[in-house]
Structure 1
Amino acid sequence: MISRGIISDASAAAGYYTDEAKAAEYYSGEAVPSAWTGAAAEAMGLRGKVDAAALTAILQGRAIERDPATGEPRERQLGRIGKDGQPQHRAGYDFTISAPKSVSLEALVYGNPAALEAHRRAVAAVIAYLEEHGALTRVGGQYVKTDGLAIATFEHVSSRARDPQLHTHALFANLTFLGDKAYSLSSEKLFEHRAAADATYHNTLSRELQRAGFEVQHDRSGHVEISGYTRADLEDFSKRKAEIDAALAERGVEREGSSATSRMAAALATRSTKDLPEVREAHLDRWQAQAATLGLQPATQDPQLAKQAKAADPEAAAREAV
């Protein structure tokens, strides 16, 4: 599932996500738990791990352009200057890409790298899709396709209710490039493509899970889960979802018939202050004890199913070979 929000305070957002990234190092399985991506980030020389200073600057609209005459980098402030003499610039947009609960259990409780990698590849597909369709600005009142976006990604592993919940925050800075010049982003198209991006995530995730040998199943919305987990199992690890559903019920609405806006309102209404991250051992001990109480076992990976899935997707095999 993909939810979206507006980043209003650049400094606060940068501090929050970079602090959380330090905790995510316990679970990421790699040296860089956060990363810059997107053509605009590349153009500004932003690569690798995201640090608070760089993220703050970019979210504040301090774009790094190249002087067309000298090729030297120069900073340019986007937005308008307010009556107080300070720049007014919307920081950006947080697209939160959440893995299905069965994938979170496989990746986090059982430490299966194939499930984690499937989520990461699906996230990459979402970001590529949104950059392709959402990189637009307005010039002379008209939408103009631009040369890419600047996105900072952070991978987190738990919900506010401390359930295992693999999710990636993709922070889309409110800037883009047209040639050598930076512009503010026109976010309307980015938001319009959220539903299509969600479908891209689940389609890619389904393919990658099957290529890893997992049997999968889909609901009526096309959302994927790894087969073998019952609905009761998944809901036992979904306390945050239960809180949101209860808030919807108070409004006389069920989740399946609710809009994205009403679900977001319910989520905000029930959101508690996020506790400091637990260390890895505390997470795993509690989650594994809960799984053992439920009698859960890791899902089976079938080599024959993986072989069939790879044979049915020769383009993916060719991409991996490059």
Structure 2
Amino acid sequence: MISRSVISNGSGAARYYSDTSRAAEYYSGEATPSQWHGAGAALQGLRGHVQDEALTSQLAGRVIERDPSTGEARERQLGRIGKDGAPQHRAGYDFTISAPKSVSLEALVHGNPAALEAHRRATAAVIAYLEEHGAQSRIGGECTKTDGLAIATFEHVSSRAKDPQLHTHALVANLTFKDGKAYSLSSEKLFDHRSAADAVYHNTLSLELQRSGFEVQHDRAGHVEISSYTRDDLEDFSKRKAEIDAALAGRGIERDGSSATSRMAAAMSTRSTKDLP
């Protein structure tokens, strides 16, 4: 499932997503839980791991343009200047790509890397789709297709309730480029294609899971789940929150202060042979 929201505070958002990504790095055991994507990022030399300073600049509308004749880089501020002299610029948009519950459990509780990789490939397909169909700006009073987006992704492994939930935040900065010049993003197409992007995610996820040997099933909306997890399995896991909390309490850990790792361990310790495949 893909949800979207508006990012209003660039520096605050940068701190939140980067701080949370450090937890994701610890749990996934990888060095790069965040990643730059899109032609708009590449044009500014943004690649690989997302640094706090670079993310803050992008969300604040401080872009790097290059002189087409000399290649010289220069920084420019997008947006309007307010009466107080401060720039006024919407930071961007958060497209949150959430794995189905069975995929989250297979990847995070059972530790199956194939399920995690399937989610990552499906996420990459979504990002490519959004860039292809959502990159536009209002130039000269007309909506004009542009040359790409700057997207920072952060992979997270738990919900706000601290339960295992694999999801990726795709932060689309409010900027785009046309012929080397930066413009603020016109978001209509981006929003219009959210449902189609959701279909891209589930179609790609289904194919990737099947390539890895999983049997899958789809609901009427086309959303995919791993077939070996029945509806009762998924509902039972949700109902076991009280048991998991009790297991945490037995270890002297309160739910609000628990980590995703400790909750996953508690989930495993409370499993019966009928709980999950």
Q: Report the TM-score when normalising by structure 2.
A: 0.90
Superimposed CA distance per residue, residues 232-267 of structure 1 (whole angstroms, 9 cap, x where no aligned partner): 32134447xxxxxxxxxxxxxxxxxxxxxxxxxxxx
Instruction: Quote the Cα distance in structure 2 between the aligned partners of 1:224 and 1:71.
Output: 46
Q: Distance in 2 between matches of 1:40 and 1:78?
A: 14
Distance 1:33 1:128 in 2: 19
Which amino acid is the alignment partner of residue 164 of structure 1?
Answer: P
Task: Tell me what 2:56 maps to.
Answer: 56
Correspondence 1:287 to 2:267: yes
Shift, 1:283, TM fit = 3.2
Cα distance in 2 between the residues matched to 1:168 and 1:293: 30
Confirm or deny that 1:278 pairs with 2:271: no
Unaligned ranges ≥5, structure 2: 240-254
**Paired residue type of 1:184:** S
**93 and 276 in structure 1: CA distance in 2 versus 1, 3 angstrom threshold:** farther
Distance verdict in 2 for CA 1:294–1:61, change over 3 Å: farther
Residue 187 (structure 2) aligns with? 187
Give the Cα separation in 1 of the matches to 2:29 and 2:38: 22
Q: Which residue of 1 aligns with 2:101?
A: 101
Query: 2: distance between equivalents of 1:294 and 1:152?
Result: 40
Shift of 1:295: 2.6
1:139 and 1:156 mapped to 2: Cα distance? 36
Instruction: Tell me the amino acid that sits aligned with residue 22 of structure 2.
Output: K
| Counterpart in the other structure of 2:209 | 209
Secondary structure, aligned partner of 1:293: coil
**Following the alignment from structure 1 to structure 2, what is the Cα–Cα distance between the partners of residues 58 and 276?**
32
Distance 2:236 2:56 in 1: 38
Structure 1: tracts of 5 or more residues without a match: 240-273, 299-322
CA–CA distance in structure 2, aligned partners of residues 285 and 35 of structure 1? 28
| Residues 58, 294 of structure 1: alpha-carbon distance in 2 compared, 3 angstrom cutoff | farther
Matched, 1:221 2:221: yes
1:159 aligns to what? 159
- 1: distance between equivalents of 2:52 and 2:80? 24
Paired letter, 1:28: S
Q: CA RMSD in A?
A: 1.6
The offset of 1:279, in angstroms, is 6.1
3-state secondary structure, aligned to 2:272: helix
Count of residues in Structure 1 that have an aligned counterpart in Structure 2: 262
Identity level (%): 73
TM-score by length of 1: 0.78
1:65–1:75 contact (8 Å) kept in structure 2: yes
Q: Is the 8 A contact 1:136 1:146 kept in 2?
A: yes
TM-aligned CA distance change 1:236 to 1:160, over 3 Å: farther
SS in 2 for 1:152: strand
